[in-house]
Structure 1
Amino acid sequence: MPLLLGVFLIWYSYNKFTPQQLQEIKDHFRDAKYGFVVLSIIFGLLSNLSRAYRWNFMLAPLGYKPLFSNNLMAVYIAYLMNLFIPRSGEISRALVINKYEKVPFDKAFGTIISERVADSVILLVFIGVTLILQFPLISGYLQESLDLFKIYLLIGIAVPFVFLFFYYLKKSNSALSIKIKTFLAGLKEGILSIFKMEKKWAFIGHTLFIWLMYVCMFYVMIFALPETSRISLSAILTSFVVGSLAIVFTNGGFGSYPFFIAGVLLLFGVPETAGTAFGWLVWSSQTAMVIMLGGLSFLLLPVLNKIKS
């Protein structure tokens, strides 16, 4: 479904453009300053290097210290898997580190969830600042772009099921419930590792660095096109936040990222053709890096670890 949604958004976006506007988009790609695209990719690479290094801060309290190279390749495989199956990256990342570093899956997965919580806190700060600065603009845009009623309905259906699930676990002693409880216990230990780590400040520093690189990755891209090179700080912050949220809608943001970015930039006076080209430049450059390095990681992981052993 997420992939189909991405395909639909691409069809919907380009179907409304006239032949002249489609030619304008092609011209934007042709005339883009690709030096800034390369710089953006470098910032993205630095963020992932930091993410791989940061992971050991949470694994150390559990008694594990994987090789940095294995951490990094696990991260890129996770991003690559997310392009095919949304949210599968966290699972594949834990499976990789379990296979090559013997870290129990549940504990590894718990540290990844803990990572996500830390990253979500930073994202919520960005969202909070953006809402304060641009609340009328963003709320109006989201109401036009999203079916909020369906979102509230899904939440209303999901919450009772969650409560019933945990009630079943509490009362049941079946083999299945025991396995689930054991898994959840390991998951909890992994999540709580964030409170047990010795290098808390280093972890916080890397978290801030990762998000600084995300911002730099996005910011330098505005200079790739003349139409976006002079947009305001509010436009940069708003489109960065909306783009970060758009990634969850489809496989790695396929289709949804350029669609939402173009919509936001249009609110700030950037022509839709330029906004669409900008969104695709940001998304495709980072995705190309993920495909290349994720594919290399798949190939090199067994080879390098065989040499090590």
Structure 2
Amino acid sequence: MNPKLIKFLKIILPILLGVFLIWYFLKSATPAYRKELLHSITNADPLWIFCSLTLGIVSHLSRAYRWKFLLNPLGYTPKLYNNFMALMVGYLANLGIPRSGEVLRGITASTYEKVPFEKAFGTIVSERVIDLIMLIIITAIAGILQTEYLLGFLKEKNINPLLTLGIILALILIGFLGLQLLKKSSHTLIIKIRDFGMGLWEGMQSVFTMKQKWAFLFHTLLIWFLYILMFHVVKFAVPDLRDASIGVILVAFVVGSFSMSTTNGGIGILPFPIVVGAVFVFFGFEKSDGEAFGWILWGSQTAINIVIGALSFLFLPILNKTKKNIN
């Protein structure tokens, strides 16, 4: 099969599958349920949606500012507006191809701030490692707060925690052995990959060499606090979810985060509105209210990311051309 066709299918099929699943879930629902869902969405309090959007934008600004702490030890002092627009262009790209936004963000930094791509991408990988650690911590907190519910669920589904842990450890071991083989190989392609990896590692090491470690930590905590708060305030937009505890919100947040990270911006085999809605149903809330929450949060954040991402794509060359002319 044509490689270009295979690449195209890898991009388009998850999107089509996500759209189909959303259509199927809505189509298979009863007219009464669809009416309830529409009622919950259209009667949502816009004030809280606006609050959620504002918190989301502030979190993006904080992430853009934090990126400077990783690039400074490498000898680069990027402009905040370039960092922010690179970030938003990346979010826009992720709606089409999962994780492509990180690559585009690195390319943008290379184009407009003259940061070598592998070093810029290395700092982005560092960010993702930190983000993963934060998500694991939040997942653990959510699990502790909802231990009774979650243990009951695992027992009901016959999921063996020890077997799951064993599989994870086996995958880590395989990855470690693979890295050892790469280090010893003298193949030309492997050497190029290894050199690229060294550039990534140099970018990742900036976490340990930065001078503003406490500022970096502050912005990391601020970003994730804003993420959770952005998620939490939406419950006030749906009246019947106002009693949802912080434990329920954290579980929904974790599930939603995994949906966003494994799909095209929340559209795919695990559609964000559906899986987040399922969490609320699991904890005893109405399905229509839970999915309304998911649709409101996902729809509003996706819309604002599209708008700001498109504007960033437009203004990046304009602002940097102006700056070049002034210089």
Is this a same-fold pair by TM over 0.5? yes
In structure 1, the partner of 2:239 is 226
Alignment of 1:161-176 (within 5 A): 162=175, 165-176=178-189
The farther-off stretch of 232-241 and 153-162 is 153-162
In structure 1, the partner of 2:216 is 203
**Distance (whole Å) between structure 2 residues aligned to residue 133 and residue 153 of structure 1:** 25
1:247 positional shift: 1.3
Deviations 1:183-234 (A, max 9, x none): 1111001111100000000000000110111111011110101111121222
Equivalent position of 2:307 in the other structure: 292
Distance across 2 between alignment mates of 1:22 and 1:192:
51
Give the structure 1 partner of residue 68 of structure 2.
56
For structure 1, the 5+ residue unaligned runs are: none
Contact 1:2 1:86 in 2 (8 A): no
Deviates more, 1:122-131 or 1:166-175: 166-175
Checking the alignment, whether the CA contact within 8 Å between 2:183 and 2:194 is kept in structure 1 is no
TM-score (normalizing by structure 2): 0.86
The answer (yes or no) to whether the contact 1:61–1:197 under 8 Å persists in 2 is yes
The structure 1 residue matched to 2:125, chosen from 113, 121, 124, is 113
The answer to whether the 8 Å contact 1:81/1:92 transfers is yes
For residue 22 of structure 2, the aligned residue among 7, 10, 24 is 10
Higher mean alpha-carbon deviation, 34-43 vs 248-257, is at 248-257
Q: Distance in 2 between matches of 1:136 and 1:17?
A: 30
Cα distance in 1 for partners of 2:253, 2:107 equals 31
Please state how far the C-alpha of 1:169 moved relative to its aligned partner: 2.7
Counterparts of 1:16 and 1:123, CA distance in 2 = 33
Change (3 A) 1:53 1:233: same
The answer on 1:76 being equivalent to 2:88 is yes
Taking the TM superposition and a 5 Å limit, the aligned residue runs for 1:1-309 are 1-138=13-150, 162=175, 165-254=178-267, 256-309=271-324
Q: Report SS of the residue matched to 2:205.
A: helix
Count of residues paired in the alignment? 308
SS at match of 1:123: helix
- 1:30-86 Cα offsets, whole Å, 9 max, x none, are 211111101100000000000000001010110011111110001001111111000
Work out the CA distance in 1 between the residues paired with 2:15 and 2:275: 16
Q: Residue type of the partner of 2:111?
A: K
Task: Please report how far the alpha carbon of residue 287 of structure 1 lies from its aligned counterpart in structure 2 after TM superposition.
Answer: 0.4
Contact preservation (8 Å) 1:261, 1:275 = yes
Kept after mapping to 2: 8 A contact 1:2/1:249: no
AA paired with 1:132? Answer: I
Query: Secondary structure at the residue paired with 1:84?
Result: coil
Deviation larger for 29-38 or 2-11 = 2-11
**Distance in 2, Cα, partners of 1:302 & 1:295:** 12
Root-mean-square deviation (CA, aligned residues, Å) is 2.6
Identity within the alignment, %? 47
Q: Distance in 1 between matches of 2:170 and 2:20?
A: 26
Q: What is the deviation of 1:140?
A: 5.7
Contact 1:9 1:259 in 2 (8 A): no
Distance 1:218 1:305, change over 3 A: same
Question: Are the equivalent residues in 1 in contact too, given 2:146–2:248 (CA < 8 A)?
Answer: no
Q: Name the CA distance, whole Å, in 2 between partners of 1:157 and 1:259.
A: 32
Matching residue of 2:10: none
